[in-house]
Structure 1
Amino acid sequence: MEEILKGNLIIIGGHEDKKGAKNILKEVCSKIDKEKDELVIATIATDLPKEVGAEYRDIFEKLGVKNINILDVQDRKDACEQGNINIMEKAALIFFTGGDQLKITSLLGGTPLYDAIHESHKRGCVYVGTSAGASVVCDTMIITGDDEAAPKKCTLKMAPGLGLIKNVVIDQHFSQRGRIGRLLVAIAENPESLGVGIDEDTAIMVSVDGEFTVIGSGAVYVVDGSKISYTNVSEQYPDEILSMFDVKMHVLKNGDKFNLKIRQPIKEEKQDKNEDSRR
């Protein structure tokens, strides 16, 4: 299998706890030196960049991060400005907020800032994305589809993402918005990819070796369509219900691990109780 990703990722299903224990955001901050490293908040996806940027800046400052920058790109001209490229080149961690994932790719695609994000990630900058910022990390991302509906044959709209992780399609706000149907359609249309649905206040921490660990209060759902034996997916009669056989699903909770390369959960070895009692 080709290389899955170039650097570390934290992918959040949206609505992470910002007022209570803030466990996910604390984990984000633990990935950098809070005294020396630069954390960049990318407000590209949101229509309220000042408000959202200020909210996250306040949270990260209270969690002890000393050096924080805002990457605010509201048109393609901004993605060509040297000042924004310099921000990205110095970043140890970049945090993409929620909003509209298509806005991210349409503003960044083909620009010097797009290249700078990829180069920074390759050399070790941690990418973190919540909600729209989670979906856009993939090479192919979901941009729209029916929530809380039975899957239909060809009703999903997808587009190229940032491509920081390969052969994975990510959906967020997963159980809260009833998105299992649209993830199944995504996998029926792209069976070479793993589908990963992430609940709110839940995240996956993905390492460069292709393993991820679940953190947070919800669940993560991994849909594997590589062994599908039949599907009726087609552009014809798109409103017909999707049918597919032999699709596999894993459901993971806080602390569970998954290997994206071999498409299997990682089972923690437990000590033999009798052996433990003899010690």
Structure 2
Amino acid sequence: MSESQTKRQLVIIGGAEDKEGDCQILREFVRRAGGTKARIVIMTAATELPREVGENYIRVFERLGAEDVRIVDTETREDGSSSTALEAINKATGVFFTGGDQARITSILKDTEIDAAIHKRFSEGVVIGGTSAGAAVMPDVMIVEGDSETNPRIEIVDMGPGLGFLPGVVIDQHFSQRGRLGRLISALAQQPAVLGFGIDENTAMVVTDNQIEVIGEGSVTIVDESEVIHNNVDEILKDEALAICGARLHILPHGYKFDLKTHRPILNGQSLPLQPANTQ
């Protein structure tokens, strides 16, 4: 299968996903990674407890039937060229980034041999998953840190380079649980990107090429700034309030989809109109 025919799949999780019950989201990751033939690599760069966190995911993925599950622990950039890690990644059908601190992931892995190997495998059809910090790194520019439960202002969020699996968007996690709408809007206002995704806990957006499907118990909040008619970003100081006019807001629960090209929500296979029907 050529690269143009290969499906590029991401399972981007808002954090705190179920690991004890039905494990709907992690089950979907394993299924897409090959089911009982899945060979999964767990990337623990984000966490300061790599063994504990990694072994927890090993238990879950093995219980769900994955054929082979192993940890790739990278504590320093020197580990980014580990031959053992590269061999595991080259044999993997799924690569999963754990939670922790997203800045640790990029500072240790970005532009290393491991980073290049994972991107190559992604282009070949390997499923990439990530939860919490592992979700934050999916865009090319990510939220490094920022304040929750506040109104949008430039100063409340710091941005930095991500890993670029889903470029041109902004992603935030633990979204409704930590009141991060202001943070997402503040991040989006600073970027060329026009789509922002806020993912609730125990919820995931599953990306297949240019389409997203929402699974889990919460929702994915989408802020679409592609048709914004006004903002004051160029007129304010960093501690002053942002104004944004004309943005679209979508809140999509389990089963809804979204087209990244047309920016339209999808329900039951049908794209939903972005304007109300003319009732006159």
Q: Cα deviations across residues 151-197 of structure 1 (Å, max 9, x unaligned)?
A: 11343211111111121111000000000001111121125331000
What does 1:64-213 align with in structure 2 at a 5 Å threshold? Answer: 64-208=65-209, 210-213=210-213
Q: Cα deviations across residues 117-152 of structure 1 (Å, max 9, x unaligned)?
A: 111111111000000100101111001111001111
State whether residues 217 and 254 of structure 2, in contact with CA within 8 Å, keep that contact through their aligned partners in structure 1.
Answer: yes
State whether residues 141 and 170 of structure 1, in contact with CA within 8 Å, keep that contact through their aligned partners in structure 2.
Answer: yes
One-letter amino acid of the structure 1 residue matched with residue 164 of structure 2: G
The separation in 2 between residues aligned to 1:6 and 1:22, in whole angstroms, is 24
One-letter amino acid of the structure 2 residue matched with residue 108 of structure 1: L
State whether residues 85 and 113 of structure 1, in contact with CA within 8 Å, keep that contact through their aligned partners in structure 2.
Answer: yes
Cα 1:81/1:202, change in 2 over 3 Å:
same
Q: 1:268: Cα distance to partner?
A: 2.5
State whether residues 98 and 131 of structure 1, in contact with CA within 8 Å, keep that contact through their aligned partners in structure 2.
Answer: yes
Identify the residue that residue 244 of structure 1 maps to in structure 2: 244
Identify the residue that residue 60 of structure 1 maps to in structure 2: 61
Q: Calculate the TM-score normalised by the size of structure 1.
A: 0.91
Q: 1:33: Cα distance to partner?
A: 3.0
Q: Cα deviations across residues 89-139 of structure 1 (Å, max 9, x unaligned)?
A: 111001110011111111112211111011111111100000010010111
Q: Calculate the TM-score normalised by the size of structure 2.
A: 0.91
The separation in 1 between residues aligned to 2:120 and 2:7, in whole angstroms, is 10
Q: State the SS of the aligned residue for 1:27.
A: helix
Q: Cα deviations across residues 48-90 of structure 1 (Å, max 9, x unaligned)?
A: 0010001111111111112111110000111112111111111
Identify the residue that residue 217 of structure 2 maps to in structure 1: 217
2:54 is aligned with 1:41: no
2:10 is aligned with 1:9: yes
State whether residues 167 and 193 of structure 1, in contact with CA within 8 Å, keep that contact through their aligned partners in structure 2.
Answer: yes
One-letter amino acid of the structure 2 residue matched with residue 214 of structure 1: V
Q: State the SS of the aligned residue for 1:30.
A: helix
Decide which moves more: 238-247 or 125-134.
238-247
State whether residues 7 and 208 of structure 2, in contact with CA within 8 Å, keep that contact through their aligned partners in structure 1.
Answer: no
Identify the residue that residue 27 of structure 2 maps to in structure 1: 26
The separation in 1 between residues aligned to 2:195 and 2:144, in whole angstroms, is 17
Identify the residue that residue 274 of structure 2 maps to in structure 1: none
Decide which moves more: 185-194 or 141-150.
185-194
Extract unaligned runs of 5+ from structure 2: 271-280
Q: State the SS of the aligned residue for 1:77.
A: helix
State whether residues 139 and 166 of structure 1, in contact with CA within 8 Å, keep that contact through their aligned partners in structure 2.
Answer: yes
Identify the residue that residue 233 of structure 1 maps to in structure 2: 233
Structure 1 runs of 4+ off > 4 angstroms?
none
Q: 1:34: Cα distance to partner?
A: 3.7
Identity %: 45
State whether residues 170 and 193 of structure 2, in contact with CA within 8 Å, keep that contact through their aligned partners in structure 1.
Answer: no
The separation in 2 between residues aligned to 1:269 and 1:41, in whole angstroms, is 33
Cα 1:235/1:82, change in 2 over 3 Å:
farther
